[in-house]
Amino acid sequence: MWSEIHIYELKGLNDELCNQLLESIG
């Protein structure tokens, strides 16, 4: 079972990857 901490870590990682992608496009 996923703990909330792992979910938050994955969400933070996903946000970070999205930000890098937007920066590379912009």
In the predicted model, what is the mean pLDDT of residues 6-17?
91
Q: Average pLDDT, whole number, for the chain?
A: 89
Q: What is the longest distance spanned by two Cα atoms in the chain?
A: 38
pLDDT at 1 (0 to 100): 66
Report the domain count for the chain: 1
Distance CA 22, CA 6 (A): 24
Distance CA 24, CA 5 (A): 29
The residue behind tokens 């792992």 is: 6
Distance CA 15, CA 9 (A): 10
pTM: 0.55
User: 17: domain range?
Assistant: 1-26
8 confidence band (pLDDT: 50, 70, 90): confident
